[in-house]
Structure 1
Amino acid sequence: MTDTINTTPDAAATAPVDPTYRDATLSTDERVENLLGQMTLEEKAGLFFQTMITMTQDGELSQGDPTFGLPANEVFVIDKGMNHFNVMGSAPTPELMATWHNALQTLAATTRLGIPVTISTDPRHSFSDNPLAGMMAGPFSSWPESIGLAAIRDEDVVEQFGDIARQEYLAVGIRLALHPQIDLATEPRWGRQVATFGEDPELTSALGAAYIRGFQGETLGSDSVSTMTKHFPGGGPQMDGEDAHFAYGREQVYPGDQFDLHLKPFEAAFEAGTSQIMPYYGMPVGTEHEEVGFGFNKSVITGLLRERFGFDGIVCTDWGLISDSEIMGQPFPARAWGVEHLTPRERMLKIIEAGVDQFGGEAIPEMLIELVRSGDVSEARLDESARRLLREKFVLGLFDAPLVDVEKAGRVVGSAEFRAAGEAAQRASITVLTNTASDAGTPALPLARGLKLYVEGIDADVAAEYGTVVETPAEADAAVIRVQAPFDVRETFFENFFHQGSLDFTDEAIAHVREIAAAVPTVLDVHLDRPAILTPIIDAPVAVVANYGANARALLDVLTGAAAAKGKLPFDLPSSMAAVEASREDVPFDTKDPLFRFGHGLTV
């Protein structure tokens, strides 16, 4: 073994290119083998890395983003030979997004083999977003979060969402969705359950499959957006609900012995044909599997995923398992849980040996090249994963039509039809938890239009469309207050994008709601990105409703009866933090005497 890298180019690098792989009349396997046979080690290594890339606001190639330590687009594509990227941010218009995409594909076409770029994205369609776990809807149609789709409990709506998102992604050149997230949200404190379908295995399985069908169709093809379903084998049972992005949340635990239950949604995803899988950061504790992060875990990736379930699609790690980095100026160590003692080179080797095809959030092809040249990884092992990665590019039609129609992007993305569908889903997800009757027997909801309204958390101009907005509760006929589910403020800016910790409202927040409710009939709307402990305030408002990403008009349409209340809780609402702390992280519906059960939701 040597530490010296042989920089002599492969003979293939100077050989004439055989364009047979561009012949669309050949089978996909023939095209893959022709191209793979011409690739240098360096070109193969470039396939294995998928990381963040910046999009400009003017459609031109980006010169990089120093805030996130990202270089110019040319560095990734030309210098590093990479062609899989998770695009950050958004341009002001879909036309500019499409123009940037075409510029990037044109750049990729100048490389020796002209391998097209695959652009991926985190979720972009939610009305409310978590800036580093999902992207702003921007010009796209706006829908509730996935937990809100679960509140609608309708496979057809979820498949419709997937189909609309597919069309919008295609229009701007996005060909890979880094979702759905089908983890079971069995730990009420977990900060990432907003992007799940809740804690019920059957509902999650059905909706996850519908989501995949919407994006991919019945089979993956040139009109599909590939789905990277996550996080195998289920990321929900985080110890004490702490997220595995951070060292204090690295452990996944199974006190109820329910490891296999968390696999059920993935069985449905495989049946629906998901093209890719992402394992989570967490390391299983107290199971038959090695206590290392799932991306390093051979018995999970090869044993469970490849052999037990027969999955032969692409497996990409979650972001940043190998290299330390900085986020927003703060040191952010690699999420190498259980293998922190290994060097980055050793971590990469362990991931390859586990059976993974691609390294998420990394841009170090030179390290993989050295592993091959030193003899630690065979080129045949690289070819195994390279075939999967190339095959998907061919199946998606990227070699045959890499560019998109800029004008069409403007017509498709955020069309009136698509926006209306998203807003209808926002309204349908609103969940009425309580609706108290007056002494005369009249329920508080629906509210009459034209009332004097005191509002908090709602734009006064929007509220004025439904009534007369007043300055104080004393002047009002009714109050409508929107609040967020509580969470603990953590040490760093980045940590606070992940809402974790206690589900209890502060004493000040409780007192504030009760004071307003004592002065005027009050409707409390809570954004449930996680369950919230409503016990101390549930009796004060005349009505309590939940949303999961819905604009003020969607809410007020339901409150005034312009739209029917249809939403059902996608998880239990615990009665106390003591009940949460006593529950088992891997067991659904395990808090004692919940305030409201899964499926609760009143009609109005």
Structure 2
Amino acid sequence: MKEEELYQLLNKMTLDEKIAQLMQLATPFFKGSSTRGHITGPMKEMGVSESVIEHTGSVLGASGAREIKAIQHRHLEDNRLGIPLLMMSDIVHGFKTIFPVPLAIGCSWDLDLARQSAEVAAKEAAVSGIHVTFAPMVDLVRDPRWGRVMESTGEDPYLNGEFARAFVQGFQGEDLANDMYSVAACVKHFAAYGAVEGGRDYNTVDLSERHLREYYLPAYKSALEAGCEMVMTAFTTINGVPATGNRTLMNDVLRQEWGFEGVIISDWGAVKELIPHGVAQDLKEAALKAFRATVDIEMMTTAYIDHLKEWVDEGVVAEGEIDQAVMRILRLKNKLGLFENPYRGADEQLEETVVFSPSHRQMAKALAVKSCVLLKNDGVLPLDQEQHLALIGPFADNGDVLGPWSWQGSKMDAVTLRQGLASHISEERLSVAKGCGIQSVNEAEMMAALQAAQTADRIVLALGEASEMSGEAGSRTAIKLPKPQIELFKRLKALNKEIVVVLFNGRPLDLSDIVDEADAILEAWYPGSEAGSAVADLLMGQENPSGKLTMSFPQTVGQVPVYYNHFNTGRPLNAPDAQERYVSHYLDSPNDPLFPFGYGLSYSTFTYAQVTSTASTIKKGETLTLTVEVTNTSDRPGEEIVQLYIRDHVGEVVRPLKELKGFKRISLQPGESCQVQFDIKEEQLRYTHADLQWKSDPGAFTAYVGPNSEHVTAVPFQLMD
């Protein structure tokens, strides 16, 4: 449909029909839904009439080609102008084929595989009738107490931005209108949801504008530069104003400064939540504040439906302003080709062959292999298939390995660690016992585990968090493993057996109870549908670990937030003239994390030669090239992630000790060497100044190259005027 035809359609709509386009309702509200009537209580409480439903613009949570086509068909019969519905859902890290959680995907440092995982998710969602996914989440996170860290790719703004682009490109493809296997992406949560105080979900966010712009906003902008069609508001306040009613953030920054012309949607119920936040006295004022912030779609509350027309009648809101919001929605529907084909993509036959297909599962396994991070290995890994192994723990044979936001995924379909190891080890050499529950202990189960371990050569201990202990509303103050699991570990350790710990969890944990005594630790996160297959291949040496952390692990929760790109302070711990007490440190803990950003071991070993530089100075328009030779000094092929960091020693405002500026994944055969090069340009040295200008300062810099943020080789250089 041409633009002028969209305007003609808009001009035919009544004001009530226009406002209804700004509402999103859940699936059970709609005729044709298999669950219609299941939420009649909330439906009645919301006061949503059949007339409103008939003109509503979008649906939340519908799934399945047959049902979605039925909903769309009934809607088009009832809608006076035949305007199709937008079908939206949370397809975060897979549809039916579940990939590792995004934090794990970040630890792969593999942008191409990340893009492909989004392509697979989009294809499965599209053939099931979905048009829009509420992903990617690109919130920068530094506090593992917050449950939604699992949904982010970590603590670094540069890396988050790279993954944001990859996910958007994967979801949307190159042509939304003509690619029936793509879906529109909705980046979230704008903005700085990951900075909630105390790591408590929905809590306050208070940042200086300079800090917000330098660290938290870049990843959202990267997603929009990749063409992301939608933006979702954060639940939180930002500098005293809830994001959903924050005109400065949504209109002035997002629309005016960045030029975003797409659709802004609230999170679930966030418009009504302006009332308990304390910035709106009632639903009518909440409607005005959200609309003035240019929020186009209100999700699952009725402020717009109930009160926008009143604001128009009172002359406070012009109907032309509502027209602008409606046009943004109509343009998205048009871009998706819904006016020509309202059943876009939905195909029951393709669902049978595409969704959870063997090729998609293989891709999920490949990404799971690259997402796992080997944190410790005292020579016990890889395992020997001729050994007698005891597989013990609440995750030994547990399908709860998909993680939060695995909406269509099935725990019953997930490959457990027991199933994965059984493909490598004969039944008589593998003993399996639960030992304890995730948060409960049973002495009979404990004794059975100890008995199984007695005759084993080595113990594989599968520990972690239940999926509901992470994700939205999954904040925790104590981020250790639950006490029953620690007790199981200690009782097994008393047997003087070598123990390999495999962790299934959604956040960096405080591992102080086990890190010293465990002989190896593999951080598997929530690996997805092929969890057991991927982890077993790594444990047995069929695959070689290559993942590296994108979020630091604390020594103790008391350090949190702990992150690599921190400031130096006026009394740094390692200053040459530092006094023993009066420096920035803890009396009872090191400052450094237990495992730093960028860290991860391999079964291969790599050495880094001295870094060479093409120059010691650089000017605008010039390029300084760093070269390092990396050698695989082991007898195993392996992959290494070579990382580039830069420090600006003197800035107008304080600069971090290190900032990630580049990385390269290389694959080396035993004994093979590779020349890795990084180009440094003046643009990479810019930052947000006190006046909010993005520019660089001449002066001293240091580049660092190495396998993680701590073990690096320094190369000084100067930026000249």
* Superposition TM-score tier, normalisation by shorter sequence: 0.7 to 0.9
**Residue identity matched to 1:104:** I
Q: Is the 8 A contact 2:145 2:198 kept in 1?
A: yes
Instruction: Report deviation, 1:258.
Output: 4.8
Instruction: Report deviation, 1:508.
Output: 4.8
State the match for 1:53 in structure 2: 27
Distance 2:556 2:218 in 1: 29
| Aligned match for 2:215, one of 250, 261, 286 | 261
State the match for 1:480 in structure 2: 460
Q: Is the 8 A contact 1:487 1:502 kept in 2?
A: no
State the match for 2:358 in structure 1: 416
Q: Is the 8 A contact 1:486 1:504 kept in 2?
A: no
Secondary structure (helix, strand or coil) at the match of 2:544 reads: coil
Label 1:170 to 1:486 Cα distance change in 2 as closer, same or farther (>3 A).
Answer: closer
Q: Is the 8 A contact 1:482 1:524 kept in 2?
A: yes
| Aligned match for 1:458, one of 396, 405, 412 | 396
| Aligned match for 1:469, one of 424, 431, 435 | 431
Question: Is the counterpart of residue 272 in structure 1 residue 240 in structure 2?
Answer: no
Instruction: Report deviation, 1:54.
Output: 3.8
Distance 2:141 2:107 in 1: 14
| Aligned match for 1:117, one of 55, 74, 85 | 85
| Aligned match for 1:214, one of 146, 170, 190 | 170
| Aligned match for 1:284, one of 211, 226, 238 | 238
State the match for 2:278 in structure 1: 339
Question: Is the counterpart of residue 498 in structure 1 residue 474 in structure 2?
Answer: yes
Structure 2 runs not aligned, ≥5 long: 398-417, 433-447, 570-589, 604-721
Distance 1:539 1:76 in 2: 62
| Aligned match for 2:134, one of 158, 175, 178 | 178
Distance 1:63 1:487 in 2: 28
Structure 1 runs not aligned, ≥5 long: 1-23, 91-96, 127-136, 286-290, 324-333, 438-442
Q: Is the 8 A contact 2:107 2:373 kept in 1?
A: yes
Q: Is the 8 A contact 1:488 1:500 kept in 2?
A: no
State the match for 2:372 in structure 1: 430
State the match for 2:192 in structure 1: 234
Label 1:216 to 1:487 Cα distance change in 2 as closer, same or farther (>3 A).
Answer: closer
Label 1:447 to 1:433 Cα distance change in 2 as closer, same or farther (>3 A).
Answer: farther
Label 1:206 to 1:477 Cα distance change in 2 as closer, same or farther (>3 A).
Answer: same
Instruction: Report deviation, 1:425.
Output: 1.1
Secondary structure (helix, strand or coil) at the match of 1:174 reads: coil
Secondary structure (helix, strand or coil) at the match of 2:516 reads: coil
Q: Is the 8 A contact 1:572 1:589 kept in 2?
A: no
Question: Is the counterpart of residue 406 in structure 1 residue 342 in structure 2?
Answer: no
**Residue identity matched to 1:306:** R
**Residue identity matched to 1:143:** F
Instruction: Report deviation, 1:515.
Output: 2.2
Distance 1:335 1:556 in 2: 48
- CA deviations on 1:435-483 (whole Å, 9 max, x unpaired) are 103xxxxx43244355232322122555444432255221222222222
Structure with the bigger RCO (C-alpha within 8 Å, sep 6+) is 1
Distance 1:314 1:230 in 2: 12
Label 1:70 to 1:445 Cα distance change in 2 as closer, same or farther (>3 A).
Answer: farther
State the match for 1:296 in structure 2: 245
| Aligned match for 2:325, one of 374, 385, 396 | 385
- Which piece of structure 1 moves more, 356-365 or 527-536? 356-365
Label 1:578 to 1:475 Cα distance change in 2 as closer, same or farther (>3 A).
Answer: same
State the match for 1:567 in structure 2: 547
Distance 2:61 2:219 in 1: 27
- CA deviations on 1:101-147 (whole Å, 9 max, x unpaired) are 11011011111111111111113545xxxxxxxxxx5xx21210111
Instruction: Report deviation, 1:256.
Output: 9.4
Distance 1:298 1:357 in 2: 13
Label 1:35 to 1:504 Cα distance change in 2 as closer, same or farther (>3 A).
Answer: same
Label 1:585 to 1:115 Cα distance change in 2 as closer, same or farther (>3 A).
Answer: farther
Q: Could you tell me the TM-score, scaled by structure 2's length?
A: 0.68
State the match for 2:532 in structure 1: 552
Percent identity reads 27
Distance 2:308 2:209 in 1: 38
**Residue identity matched to 1:424:** A
State the match for 2:61 in structure 1: 87
Secondary structure (helix, strand or coil) at the match of 2:67 reads: helix
| Aligned match for 2:510, one of 516, 533, 558 | 533
Distance 2:354 2:98 in 1: 14
Distance 1:585 1:39 in 2: 54
Distance 2:269 2:555 in 1: 37
State the match for 1:150 in structure 2: 106
Structure 1 or 2, whichever has the larger Rg, is 2
**Residue identity matched to 1:310:** G
Q: Is the 8 A contact 1:64 1:71 kept in 2?
A: no
- CA deviations on 1:15-42 (whole Å, 9 max, x unpaired) are xxxxxxxxx4xx2x12211110111111
Distance 1:598 1:359 in 2: 38
State the match for 2:298 in structure 1: 359
Q: Is the 8 A contact 1:321 1:336 kept in 2?
A: no
State the match for 1:318 in structure 2: 267
Distance 1:560 1:301 in 2: 50
Instruction: Report deviation, 1:337.
Output: 5.9
| Aligned match for 1:106, one of 62, 67, 73 | 73
Q: Could you tell me the TM-score, scaled by structure 1's length?
A: 0.81
Distance 1:338 1:407 in 2: 47
Q: How many equivalent pairs are there?
A: 528
Label 1:67 to 1:197 Cα distance change in 2 as closer, same or farther (>3 A).
Answer: farther
Q: Is the 8 A contact 1:184 1:262 kept in 2?
A: yes
**Residue identity matched to 1:101:** I
Distance 2:121 2:485 in 1: 37
Distance 1:495 1:219 in 2: 32
Distance 2:492 2:358 in 1: 38
Q: Is the 8 A contact 1:315 1:358 kept in 2?
A: yes
Q: Is the 8 A contact 1:151 1:429 kept in 2?
A: yes
Secondary structure (helix, strand or coil) at the match of 2:551 reads: coil
Label 1:54 to 1:187 Cα distance change in 2 as closer, same or farther (>3 A).
Answer: same
Q: Is the 8 A contact 2:373 2:522 kept in 1?
A: yes
Q: Is the 8 A contact 1:188 1:531 kept in 2?
A: yes
Q: Is the 8 A contact 1:279 1:294 kept in 2?
A: yes
Distance 2:306 2:332 in 1: 24
Instruction: Report deviation, 1:67.
Output: 8.9
| Aligned match for 1:445, one of 382, 387, 394 | 382
Distance 1:312 1:587 in 2: 35
**Residue identity matched to 2:351:** A
Distance 1:108 1:240 in 2: 45
Label 1:587 to 1:182 Cα distance change in 2 as closer, same or farther (>3 A).
Answer: farther
Q: Is the 8 A contact 1:484 1:527 kept in 2?
A: yes
Structural RMSD (CA): 3.1
Distance 1:55 1:474 in 2: 57
Distance 1:383 1:532 in 2: 49
Distance 1:567 1:454 in 2: 23
- Which piece of structure 1 moves more, 588-597 or 193-202? 588-597
